[in-house]
Amino acid sequence: MDVMTRIERALQSALARTGQPGCPPRLGQAMHHAVFPRGARIRPRLTLAVAAACGEDAPAVSDAAGIAIELMHCASLVHDDLPCFDDADTRRGRASVHRAFGEPLAVLAGDALIVLAYQTLAQGAVTQPLRLGQLILTLGQAVGVPCGIVAGQAWECEPAADLALYQREKTGALFAAGSHSQA
């Protein structure tokens, strides 16, 4: 199976949770809207390429890491598009999540994608607890502070920011996670 098919199937599998009983239908729809149709999927492709270069020994772990990183990226786009940040009307050629579903569901969809990223990672690496711990740490560092995408987004709230630092954190952190998670 080619890499893009592998990625899309894994994302569909992760998002299948939104169709389970108890999930509010519009929340599930907003989450799907954030993830599909696909973007370039550069982050999971990088993750899987590094895994292959390192002699991928656990495809389920590699898939989980790549998908978790992509879900985090999608969550960050949902939050970045909100009126309190960029107030973007469109994303990937259609209405942004907050325009299609309203701000409250956009916030919840972004938050739910973050949680789903960690659930996906844990489920994919459950048989390798030592590796799972390192993957969770890598993803957490790429998302949080001081050098993750949350910190990068927060630089937009500062009166002045170092552009290179802003770009490294907001954009580069998940690329770094993709390359480090499998090496």
Tell me the average pLDDT across 108-134.
95
- Classify 3-128 by CATH class: mainly alpha
Q: How far is CA 60 from CA 17, 81, 130, 146, in A?
A: 18, 31, 15, 30
Tell me the average pLDDT across 9-22.
96
Euclidean distance between the first and the last CA atom of the chain, given in angstroms as a whole number: 22
In this predicted model, what pLDDT tens digit does every residue of 152-168 receive, in sequence order? 999 999 999 889 999 99
174, 43 Cβ separation under 8 angstroms? yes
- pLDDT value of residue 27: 98
Domain range summary for the chain, segments of one domain joined by +: 3-128
Partner residues linked to 94 by β-bridges:
91
- pLDDT value of residue 8: 97
Q: pTM to 2 decimals?
A: 0.96
Tell me the average pLDDT across 117-127.
94
- pLDDT value of residue 143: 96
What's the pLDDT band for 120 if we cut at 50, 70, 90? very high
In this predicted model, what pLDDT tens digit does every residue of 56-96 receive, in sequence order? 889 999 999 999 999 999 999 999 999 999 999 999 999 99
Angle at 48 between CA 46 and CA 53, to 5 degrees: 95
Mean pLDDT, the chain, whole residue set: 95
What's the pLDDT band for 183 if we cut at 50, 70, 90? low
One-letter amino acid of 129: P
pLDDT > 90 in the chain, percent: 90
